[in-house]
Structure 1
Amino acid sequence: MGDRDWRPFIYGGLASIVAEFGTFPIDTTKTRLQVQGQKIDPRHVELRYTGMLDCFVKTSQQEGIKALYCGIWPAVLRQATYGTIKFGTYYSLKKALAQRRADGGSREHLPTNTFCAAFAGGLSSAIANPTDVLKVRMQVGDEKRSLGRCFAETWRAEGARGLWRGVGPTAQRAALIAAVELPVYDACKRRLLPALGDAPLNHLLSSLLASLGSAVASTPLDVIRTRLMNQKKLRDSIANSNNNIYKGTIDCFVQTVRNEGFLALYKGFIPTWLRMGPWNIIFFITYEQLKQFY
């Protein structure tokens, strides 16, 4: 593989890290909204926040501004792996398959783009799942330790399975987001090229359009995977109702709807959408600028 072939991976990872730093406080409010109000989880029965702004203000006042960035380092580590693999795989696989088509890749092919995006999203998120688990637990506020200590405690108490808790819905969510987001961005960018050219305004508008659909499609899976990641199951003790809450993705879905109603699957939708917009804007503009180097 030539040197140029590695650049989508490198630029994808760098752009993902920049976007993560810029939007992480919104992600923290989303996570806290998603775990509250669980009637079967004694740790999170209380509805502490009425919405994103209330969560932002209360967290800042009660725990300090730094609490909004609690979990940033596993998030950065996640983007260094997830973002690198996802975007690098998508653009590399898309290019390889395009060259095999009859048109030689001169036109965008939606089914091919969707397959490449879903494959890249699911694969990368499954690999990076341990960093997601640590991020969620630190964001919720239960884990006040450093990244290293949080990892060691999770490994000691729950083993490798604890670090891959929620990997099913995580991979499904990532595949769904990528399958909607990346092809829509590429299609919008291509349509806007005659009017706007390959310029930041084109990247901005394409990013905004790509965000809404992925937020609507992915929020229910995001709620489920957040709750699965946050629950703790002790490896060396008999499970009880306090540490073995959900048996899996389907059980979490059923119990959430049964106990809290269907709209509970859309807890944190506003910060999810508001974060996706700026995240995609920062990412794609950064990525497009980095592409100017080759």
Structure 2
Amino acid sequence: MGDRDWRPFIYGGLASIVAEFGTFPIDTTKTRLQIQGQKIDPRHVELRYTGMVDCFVKTSKQEGIKALYCGIWPAVLRQATYGTIKFGTYYSLKNVLAARREDGGTKEHLATNTFCAAFAGGLSSAIANPTDVLKVRMQVGDEKRNLVRCFAEIYRVEGLRGLWRGVGPTAQRAALIAAVELPVYDSCKRALLPALGDAPLNHFASSLLASLGSAVASTPLDVIRTRLMNQRKLKNTTEPMQRIYKGTIDCFLQTVRNEGFLALYKDRKLLRFHYNGRELLREHQNFTY
């Protein structure tokens, strides 16, 4: 234990937190745009916003600038767990498996990197799922309580399952992002070393290329998990249950049936901007590692 390198965990977590503060207003607009237009949910049938800028301006005018940061503390708590576990698990597991190969880990192995990244992303996002649920509920505007009270209310009304609402697509999305992002980032960084060296510019460029692909690939799962997290399923109630999505596949089918296939790619440009900005900020903090 004394020889264990904790830097990937510490740097990854700190960088994720800093990046979250920088991109959170974009994340709030993304969440609100993904929620609107649902035929199955009467609370969000109306198309209130026409796009990213319109959502940003209307939210600021109607609810104040503070509303764009509503849910920031569950997001910070999420990054302190998700970011720390993901980066630390990825690099630690990769080093362990590399040491067992015949080449002793002197060469990068794409299959190993992809497996480690997917495992780290899925595991960390599943553990941090309750913070994601809190963040989504507060961003949409349904929850105005502080972090602890919001947590207690969801647990009281919806039970433990309410805190892990949408954990399936969340883990799948995180695994997909990590499986694309981290190996591509490592490959790009290594390919750019002769020209740029191990400098911040290399990390920025590598992060940009890696996050572009992962954001596009994960957008449908991101829309689905946001909608699942925002719905409520009350426990111990005699009232008729409101219509809700039964799971990932049901949400996918109903979204496509009611809103068209492109609804799964709502605001893909916004998603790319959000992920790119967050990854660039994160790597700026992490480039010395």
TM over 0.5: yes
Q: Distance in 2 between matches of 1:278 and 1:257?
A: 29
Residue identity matched to 2:136: V
Measure how far apart 1:268 and its partner are. 2.8
Q: Distance in 2 between matches of 1:3 and 1:76?
A: 29
Match of 1:153 in 2: 153
Match of 2:249 in 1: 250
Q: Percent identity?
A: 81
Measure how far apart 1:114 and its partner are. 0.3
Measure how far apart 1:69 and its partner are. 0.4
Q: Distance in 2 between matches of 1:207 and 1:53?
A: 25
Match of 1:181 in 2: 181
Measure how far apart 1:27 and its partner are. 0.4
Q: Distance in 2 between matches of 1:111 and 1:74?
A: 34
2:45 is aligned with 1:45:
yes
Q: Distance in 1 between matches of 2:262 and 2:251?
A: 14
> Where in structure 2 are the equivalents of 1:20-59 lying within 5 Å?
20-59=20-59
Measure how far apart 1:2 and its partner are. 3.1
Match of 2:270 in 1: 271
Match of 1:71 in 2: 71
Q: How many residues align?
A: 289
Mean alpha-carbon deviation: is it higher for 262-271 or for 164-173?
262-271
Measure how far apart 1:4 and its partner are. 4.4
Match of 1:141 in 2: 141
Measure how far apart 1:238 and its partner are. 4.1
Match of 1:11 in 2: 11
Structure 1, unaligned runs of 5 or more: none
Measure how far apart 1:245 and its partner are. 1.0
Q: Distance in 2 between matches of 1:256 and 1:74?
A: 27
Measure how far apart 1:99 and its partner are. 1.1
Q: TM-score, normalised by structure 2?
A: 0.98
- CA displacement, residues 57-97 of structure 1 (integer Å, 9 cap, x when unaligned): 11111111010000000000000110110000000001111
**Are the structure 2 counterparts of residues 238 and 121 from structure 1 closer, same or farther at C-alpha, using a change threshold of 3 Å?**
farther
Structure 2, unaligned runs of 5 or more: none
Root-mean-square deviation (Å)? 1.0
Match of 2:280 in 1: 281
Residue pair 2:233, 2:241 contacting (<8 A) in 1 also: no
- CA displacement, residues 196-244 of structure 1 (integer Å, 9 cap, x when unaligned): 00001101100110111101110000000000000011111146453x4
Which portions of structure 1, spanning 4 or more consecutive aligned residues, are displaced by more than 3 angstroms? 238-241
2:196 is aligned with 1:220:
no
Residue identity matched to 2:20: E
Q: Distance in 2 between matches of 1:240 and 1:276?
A: 39
Mean alpha-carbon deviation: is it higher for 265-274 or for 194-203?
265-274
Residue pair 1:70, 1:139 contacting (<8 A) in 2 also: yes
Residue pair 1:143, 1:150 contacting (<8 A) in 2 also: yes
